[in-house]
Structure 1
Amino acid sequence: MSHGTPKIAFIGAGSVVFTQGLLTDLLAFPELRGAHIALHDIDDERLKTAEGAARHIADRLTGPDSGDDGGAQPRITAHAERRAALEGADFVINIVQVGMREATRTDFEIPARYGVRQTIGDTLGVGGIFRALRTFPHLAALGADIAEVCPDAWLLNYTNPMAMNVQYLTRATGLTRVVGLCHSVYWTVRDLADLLGVPYEEITYRAAGVNHQAWLLRLEHRGVNLYPRLDRLVADQPQLRRRVRVDMYRRLGYYPTETSEHSSEYVPWYLGHESEVERLRLPVGAYLDIVDENVATYERTRDALAAGTPLTVEGTMEYAPQIIHSITTGTPRTVYGNVPNHGLVDNLPASGTVEVPCLVDGLGVQPTAVGALPAQCAALNRTYLSMNELVVRAALEDDPRSVRQAAMTDPATAAALPVERIWDLCDDMVRAHGDLLQPSLRVLLGN
């Protein structure tokens, strides 16, 4: 890789809104303005829209009217064939959503018929299990292509379920330069800074755990612990106590790094109880509205490009552009990454994927060992990782029983259904997702 001119492949670039945000962040770095941006998607219309959006962003940020001093412009190419996009890539950003809106609706509608409530459905639970199982075949093929055509590339994964996907990728493909990226730690601290009235730039923090269920182990302002200040706010504001993550914080002693909607799905205490759904204002099925809005935003972007009036895009503060900048230029910074637990968190399984601080510089992404988590936090994380292990094992060992055992292990599903109904539900999900699953997992087992 020549200095400042990496090749960055976007796999699933038809997720146009996310692609635009990442590109805006990337091209905000002067050193990356000469990069080769290779876009790939299997949907021709979405790929053309992504290419048009990318060229608009490049012109706005690096063109003659950008206010820049005539610096480099990126090379943008679009590829219907994945290997062409990957050829010689230094970084691969995976943002694929297998099955798109139709599959996501299935993930919600079939469990709902059984009385299983979900809010987001992309990480654990029945939705998370089947989102993973339909994503794994794509990851296996992507990993094989990377091993052949760009073996030294860093694979930066944004596709959920994050922890399961990273675990599968590293186990099934043998790739070692794999990092899962999520903005939940960053935005949790930003939101707490606003809540506490402290400038984010003056806060120091340390978090660790698993994706969407990590914990703020330290939260300080100029060396002073901010937790007592947060405790006073929670005590004084009853509305704050009507949030799942605040409820969990009060009982566990450490603030979780994901929204209340997400957090409610990973434990057995909330969604199965009508009174808790009401008390904590949980929006059951909320993700379907988000999916619909994402489609509408994509269509507005497509139509605006066609009309020659592209929409303004703001930066997203995502980690992938920061990682690419640090590795390319040697600039050190800390990000939060999802990586295999090779001696990083003492009291979580070594086979699992953990979310920890990572140093990034010219040597790559270097995870930080954090020792042991507080026992109560590790206990919840271990249940989460146990379910992940069963889903990954189902795919690696072609074992459809492990799919059902994963659902039995999932806290929210187990709290909602007797075991016979869990197996029936899995059979219905297998029928519905059909050809998106690997053939060995299309088996119906009944009770």
Structure 2
Amino acid sequence: MPTITFLGAGSVVFTRQLLTDLLRFPDLPTLDIALHDIDADRLEVARLTALSVARQLGRDIRVRASLDRRESLDGADFVINMIQVGGVAATRIDLELPAARGLRQTIGDTTGVGGVFRALRTFPVLSAIAQDMRELCPDAWFLNYTNPMAMNVWWMSEVAPEIRTVGLCHSVYWTVNDLCELVGVPLEGTHYRAAGVNHQSWLTEWSHDGEDLYPRLRERIEAEPDLQRRVRAEIFRRIGYYPTETSEHSSEYLGWFLRSDAQIERFRLEPLQYIGISEENVNEFHEAQRLLAAGQEVPLHEEGDAAEYAPQIIHSMLTGAPREIHANVVNHGLIDNLPERAVVEVPATVDADGVHPIAWGAIPAAGAALNRTYLSVADLTIRAALEGDPELVRRAVLIDPNASSTLTPDEIWQLCDELTAAHAELLPRALGGVL
């Protein structure tokens, strides 16, 4: 019986989505679902959610839940990671402390000051997970959804290169889905591929029945002034290729958008947006808790909305069905004009033997230039943690385009001091924490 372990299973809505996609494959064997979370209430809701999904889909599964991570990892074949170290409270700190100094972010989970500190408090937990996996499930695949994606996968490659780690994100799929809707073509029959780094890959292949769809997109944007007030449309206009993350996310990876009130108004941005999203997620958890306590079933998403890669990887590896996805992996000769050993996002084939990244060659030069800045922030953050050097943390934030477009170096150093103090219980001692 294949064992699939969910770490951070208390992310109940996402656990429900992944299990729904997984159990809709009719040719999978009976699965052993091991759920782990550090919050007992959330873990129980996750357990009841898994049983509800299985009942509604008529599938026989084994479900077990444990507050003991090692118990959940023992004998796992696949480990799905979706932890959020520090939870909503830490997210608020990542966004509100910088905002008090005038540094605005929308999501704050991928790069920049929010991404840096999210990574620094996640790395120690990833290291502990890696050690457990070495002992309890050394041959398992580690399928990471936790942001900052590039930093976390990169960290695993440094501290546990023997563990088969793949970073998964649905941003490429949903970008193409939404663009196809915008230009009036069905997703079915559309060929697409993107490459770069997570949340900042570049859609270089996009066609339907042999027709390049970029001319249609340009015409649509040119005809609609409102579309021209979107961040991604502006990046597309300046770089020549469409980026694969939402305008809200994309705005904080560059120094172009959040630096002034005028730009925020022009591109219709909402600083601190992720606080509201996080609160909505908490409300969704409580709604699931209420439904299950009343003996009702949790709602399932429509079958056509399945876009998550972890269920697809598991299905391909268990049945041999081939497919292509986009994956975040270490750059060993995959993208020529991005640094070796960095983590990049590329197409990959999947079959019974695992995930096989496709060597891409060079990505568009201007896109690579932006990617290299993004990867420089990640590189400095990882080096800071590996070497225990707090100065490198501050230099990572200094390199970030959004931070440096708003704050002086002195202000960045002071902000990092404040964030270090606020997150001290979750940070290594060498970086100013207490671990």
**Bin for the TM-score computed over the shorter chain:** over 0.9
Residues 16 and 50 in structure 1, CA contact (< 8 A), matched pair in contact too: yes
Report how far residue 443 of structure 1 moved.
6.6
- Which residue of 2 is the match for residue 11 of structure 1? 7
Deviations 1:25-69 (A, max 9, x none): 010012335110000111111111100110111111125xxxxxx
SS at match of 1:207: strand
Aligned equivalents of 1:365, 1:122: Cα separation in 2: 26
- Which residue of 1 is the match for residue 83 of structure 2? 96
- Which residue of 2 is the match for residue 245 of structure 1? 232
Q: Write the letter of the residue equivalent to 1:205.
A: Y
Please state if 1:391 is matched with 2:387: no
In angstroms, what is the RMSD of aligned CA positions?
Answer: 1.1
Q: 2:361 aligns with which of 368, 371, 374?
A: 371
- Which residue of 2 is the match for residue 355 of structure 1? 345
Aligned equivalents of 2:260, 2:366: Cα separation in 1: 23
Q: What does 1:223-302 correspond to in 2, within 5 Å? A: 223-302=210-289
Residues 83 and 145 in structure 1, CA contact (< 8 A), matched pair in contact too: yes
Q: 1:193 aligns with which of 164, 170, 180?
A: 180
Aligned equivalents of 2:34, 2:154: Cα separation in 1: 26
Report how far residue 221 of structure 1 moved.
1.2
Q: Write the letter of the residue equivalent to 2:353.
A: L
Q: 1:26 aligns with which of 12, 22, 27?
A: 22
Aligned equivalents of 1:310, 1:442: Cα separation in 2: 46
Aligned equivalents of 1:30, 1:221: Cα separation in 2: 29
Q: What does 1:31-180 correspond to in 2, within 5 Å? A: 31-32=27-28, 34-62=30-58, 73-180=60-167
Aligned equivalents of 1:207, 1:377: Cα separation in 2: 11
- Which residue of 2 is the match for residue 69 of structure 1? none
Deviations 1:129-175 (A, max 9, x none): 00000111110000111111100100000000000000001111223
Residues 138 and 163 in structure 2, CA contact (< 8 A), matched pair in contact too: no
Residues 215 and 257 in structure 1, CA contact (< 8 A), matched pair in contact too: yes
Deviations 1:391-446 (A, max 9, x none): 011111111111001001011001111100000000000000011011111179xx
- Which residue of 1 is the match for residue 323 of structure 2? 333
SS at match of 2:297: coil
- Which residue of 2 is the match for residue 67 of structure 1? none
SS at match of 1:37: strand
Aligned equivalents of 1:115, 1:7: Cα separation in 2: 47
Aligned equivalents of 1:317, 1:282: Cα separation in 2: 26
Q: Write the letter of the residue equivalent to 1:76.
A: V
Report how far residue 229 of structure 1 moved.
1.1
Q: 2:312 aligns with which of 313, 319, 322?
A: 322
Residues 143 and 175 in structure 1, CA contact (< 8 A), matched pair in contact too: no
Residues 91 and 155 in structure 1, CA contact (< 8 A), matched pair in contact too: yes
Q: Percent identity?
A: 55
Equivalent pairs counted in the alignment come to 431
SS at match of 1:354: strand
SS at match of 2:269: coil
Residues 343 and 369 in structure 1, CA contact (< 8 A), matched pair in contact too: yes
Aligned equivalents of 1:414, 1:77: Cα separation in 2: 47
Aligned equivalents of 2:184, 2:433: Cα separation in 1: 54
Q: Write the letter of the residue equivalent to 2:237.
A: R
Give TM-score, length-normalised by structure 2.
Answer: 0.98
Residues 9 and 89 in structure 1, CA contact (< 8 A), matched pair in contact too: yes
Please state if 1:307 is matched with 2:297: no
Where do 4+ consecutive residues of structure 1 move more than 6 Å?
Answer: none
Q: Write the letter of the residue equivalent to 1:58.
A: A
Deviations 1:312-335 (A, max 9, x none): 121542000000000111110001
Q: 2:395 aligns with which of 395, 405, 409?
A: 405
Residues 156 and 181 in structure 1, CA contact (< 8 A), matched pair in contact too: yes
Residues 39 and 85 in structure 1, CA contact (< 8 A), matched pair in contact too: yes
Q: Write the letter of the residue equivalent to 2:380.
A: L
Give TM-score, length-normalised by structure 1.
Answer: 0.95
Report how far residue 82 of structure 1 moved.
0.7
SS at match of 1:365: strand
Residues 27 and 33 in structure 1, CA contact (< 8 A), matched pair in contact too: no
SS at match of 1:389: helix
For structure 1, the residue ranges without an aligned partner over 5 or more in a row are 64-72
Residues 7 and 88 in structure 1, CA contact (< 8 A), matched pair in contact too: yes
